[in-house]
Structure 1
Amino acid sequence: MTKSLTLSDVLGLGFMTFAFYLGAGNIIFPPLAGFLAGEHMTLAMFGFLVTAVGLPLVTIIAVAKAGDGWAGMTRLLPAGVATVLAVAIYIIIGPAFAAPRTGLVAYEMGLKPFLGEMGQEGLILYTLIFFGLAILVSLNQGKLMDAVGKVLTPVLIVLLLALAAGVLIAPQGTMPEASGDYLSTPFIKGMLEGYNTMDTLASLMFGALIVDLLRQKGVTDYRSQFKYLAIAGTISATGLCVVYVSLFQLGNTALGVVSEASNGGVIVSAYVLSLFGQPGQLILAGIITLACFTTAVGLISACSDYFHNLTGVSYRKLVVLMGAICALVANVGLSQLISLSIPVLVAIYPVAVALVVLTFLKEQFGRPTLTFRLVLTIAFLFGCLDGLGAAGVKMDTFSFLPLFDKGLAWLLPTLAACGLGMLVRPRTPVEAKTA
């Protein structure tokens, strides 16, 4: 018989999910967007919230709806294709980009302000310690909810609330003028910036991980798993909204604190120093380090859990391997890692979004297997065009495509394919037998 979670466990699950999401990108991208959006901040912020909060929430509910995690969502795809797609997403969101970025941002914003430039040797030492500790916490999968949700996250929330209150009560600068794409298409630009958090991809991972954690807690039936996943997603989405609104407001009132901005980390550091003085640097260091650490734990655990189920290799061995790879990749450098990750994200995001839409609409398709394969193929092909454009490749030949100049060439063809899937009638028994 399935068990019910206590209120403490439910809150712990929600806080753990929030902490898994709140990592490096969630803190460095919103302030920069708020600064560059200027007088168009509200539209840019709503666009950002669509892809950085709305899509992850919808995705984790889709995982719950499908049942059985990733396997449930990709049941209608060829097994090999589903596996290749999953491996690509787990590598991108895990050891290749997102997880190493947590260690880099924690180093750049949590340690360097106090100790100054320490060279490559300092970065190597820090990442070894950071990911070594993340490995230790990740090793015991059954205690993740208690360690992250009930211990680390409450401390993080208190620190974030202190920062949010300071930003709203005592803004330190003035509003800059809008610049770049925020002048003409602030909403769409905000949406594209929301991609950079990688949280929609992360939802596919975290949803499957949470299902496994619920099973270990004795929650085994579909209805209860759906309920608890939806609650966890809602708690995390609420927390993320509060964080993003305060960080957008921070960036939007930062002119004078900084004269120009190359990245969100610089804005946050200068603003917190102006707002709280030197003690503020300790608050910021605590926020950054805890946020990045909990996300690193979530990503390492989710990747290890997936590859354990895929290969049969020990979960604990995979945790050590994933953590070691993250420490190695982190020494590439933050700017280089971000520049490498953006084209890949732009290419793979449409597939993830399309998969979520298909999961919700599956009952509306006359021939769901055919529709799944057609829609995901179109999303992938057009996503690759957008990814090549984001990488700086000249793509003038495809400029006639709707929304291509906005990085959204995949959107209309993918929606059209979904619409076609709804119009196609089901096979009759005779047609199915002769096909």
Structure 2
Amino acid sequence: MKKQDLFATGLMTFALFLGAGNLIFPPSLGLEAGTNLFPAMAGFLITAVGLPTFTLIVLGRISSSQNLTRPLPNWMGSTFWVLLFTAIGPAFGMPRAVTVAYEMGVKPFASSDHLMLFSIAFSAVTLLLAFKPGRLVDYIGKIMTPMLILMLLALACAAIFSPLGMPQAPTADYQSNAMTNGLIQGYMTMDAIAAVGFGWVIIQAIGSKGVTEPKDVANTSFKVAVIYAVLMSGCYLAMGYVGATSTPVAANAANGGEILTRYVAGEFGAYGQWLLAAIIVMACLTTTVGLTNACAEYYKQSFSAPFSMTATIVVVLTGVIANFGLEQILKVSLPAILVLCPVAIALVLAAFVFPAKRSLSFTFVAMVVTAFVFGGIDALSILGQMPESMSATLEQSLPLYNAHASWFLPCVIVLALSRLQSVKSALQAKMAN
């Protein structure tokens, strides 16, 4: 692959991940962490950037996202992918992107409610760009992302060279456990599950540039993942610093979106609101285009469904849910995402240790079941549905329960036992010969 195409694919990957949530989350962390910003951000980057990067590298290593679930029974693999693409697509990820783009990019300038008109226009642009998946790198990587990066740079430079304030003392959560809290917050971005979905788009984009040999796909995917990691880390650090220096204007802000709104108003005045609106709308658009392509590519490869038909259905459902059913669908989709995320990471870990070997089907099934059970426990805790007595018991007996990652150690144990059994079997076979 040419260096220009490689860099464009890396830019595209960065833009696919950079939704409004990625811009809003770090300022809140920065405001709370204050003078402990850097240890907090170090922990945040390990999970918010490290996990997606690791996922992209593993997917490139196995040459196809579909190979991630190949060792599973067909019904289990198909169920996982359908639930994943439904959750990050029309049921949650895409409608949220549309509504956030409207709330932060258009509503401040509108005198009445224009959500329906905006969602129709936004969905139409999404569908127009998604209809030509082969041009995705050109659309996003070479045009939209550079524009987005320039806008983010303007905000970051203003925060660095002309900060509105200085970092203050950290809140209670970040006084002694800044890095640990950063790790937890980074994990809660759930970008690891997005990486599994975007893998379909990224590997297809790499293939469209003539890279088809498994070894070359793995090498190119690694380079693309590194470009993504560098850019996303820079973005997170900049937005975190914006939050840390925003105390004079955002001391009582309710969320990261409000922090950003007040900050750009303080830095750029009336023009700041236009800058923020452009950043948010552009970030949300690249995300919806990428998710539409990911969903359509999956159904095309797995069920031979026409790309245009699937893309149209996904976008239409997104527009409808964004207007009429987002709050209700969140109640259903959020628990599913909280469970799917550990299952997705567990599969990636299994594929890393055992690169999609059909003979190790039992190991992959065990990983899915283990992650599903313990991920369900974490989901109940996050949603506040775990009984207090049970929660107190689990805090004492289940490692990483307070970090909402109680699934991790059991999955590592399953992997370790499977690895030992694999080595033992290999030695026995060698001795027999």
Q: Could you state the TM-score of these two structures normalised by the residue count of structure 2? A: 0.91
Counterpart code for 2:418: G
Question: 1:104 and 1:22 mapped to 2: Cα distance?
Answer: 16
Q: Indicate whether 1:345 and 2:337 are aligned.
A: yes
Contact 2:62 2:214 survives alignment (8 Å): no
Deviates more, 1:278-287 or 1:244-253: 278-287
Question: 1:92 and 1:320 mapped to 2: Cα distance?
Answer: 17
The aligned runs of 1:162-181 (5 Å cut-off) are 162-179=154-171, 181=173
Cα–Cα, structure 1 residues 27 and 338, in superposed 2: closer, same or farther, change >3 Å? farther
Cα–Cα, structure 1 residues 363 and 86, in superposed 2: closer, same or farther, change >3 Å? closer
Counterpart code for 1:275: E
Q: CA deviation at 1:140?
A: 0.9
Question: 2:26 and 2:173 mapped to 1: Cα distance?
Answer: 15
Candidates 90, 95, 99, aligned match of 2:85: 90
Cα–Cα, structure 1 residues 350 and 87, in superposed 2: closer, same or farther, change >3 Å? same
The aligned runs of 1:161-240 (5 Å cut-off) are 161-179=153-171, 181-183=173-175, 185-240=177-232
Question: 1:360 and 1:421 mapped to 2: Cα distance?
Answer: 13
Contact 1:176 1:254 survives alignment (8 Å): no
Question: 1:174 and 1:198 mapped to 2: Cα distance?
Answer: 30
Deviates more, 1:139-148 or 1:345-354: 345-354
Counterpart code for 2:52: P
Contact 2:47 2:186 survives alignment (8 Å): yes
Question: 2:87 and 2:290 mapped to 1: Cα distance?
Answer: 14
Any idea what SS the aligned residue of 2:313 has? helix
Question: 1:429 and 1:38 mapped to 2: Cα distance?
Answer: 54
Cα–Cα, structure 1 residues 17 and 430, in superposed 2: closer, same or farther, change >3 Å? closer
Q: CA deviation at 1:332?
A: 5.4
1:401 aligns with: 398
Deviates more, 1:198-207 or 1:288-297: 198-207
Counterpart code for 2:66: A
Question: 1:369 and 1:193 mapped to 2: Cα distance?
Answer: 33
Candidates 46, 49, 53, aligned match of 2:49: 53
In structure 2, the gaps of 5 or more residues are none
Q: CA deviation at 1:430?
A: 10
Identity of aligned residues (%): 36
The aligned runs of 1:254-269 (5 Å cut-off) are 254-269=246-261
Candidates 393, 416, 424, aligned match of 2:413: 416
1:252 aligns with: 244
Contact 1:98 1:198 survives alignment (8 Å): no
1:81 aligns with: 76
Deviates more, 1:397-406 or 1:92-101: 397-406
Contact 2:45 2:183 survives alignment (8 Å): yes
Tell me the C-alpha RMSD between the 2 structures: 2.5
Question: 1:334 and 1:258 mapped to 2: Cα distance?
Answer: 28
Contact 1:25 1:196 survives alignment (8 Å): no
Q: CA deviation at 1:178?
A: 3.1
Cα–Cα, structure 1 residues 88 and 206, in superposed 2: closer, same or farther, change >3 Å? same
In structure 1, the gaps of 5 or more residues are none
2:304 aligns with: 312
Corresponding pairs, count: 423
Contact 2:9 2:205 survives alignment (8 Å): no
Contact 1:15 1:150 survives alignment (8 Å): yes
Q: CA deviation at 1:338?
A: 6.6
Counterpart code for 1:157: I
Cα–Cα, structure 1 residues 171 and 341, in superposed 2: closer, same or farther, change >3 Å? farther
Candidates 107, 113, 117, aligned match of 1:112: 107
Deviates more, 1:241-250 or 1:37-46: 37-46
Question: 1:104 and 1:229 mapped to 2: Cα distance?
Answer: 32
Q: CA deviation at 1:315?
A: 0.3
Question: 2:15 and 2:171 mapped to 1: Cα distance?
Answer: 32
Cα–Cα, structure 1 residues 6 and 229, in superposed 2: closer, same or farther, change >3 Å? same
Any idea what SS the aligned residue of 1:95 has? coil
Contact 2:370 2:407 survives alignment (8 Å): yes
1:280 aligns with: 272
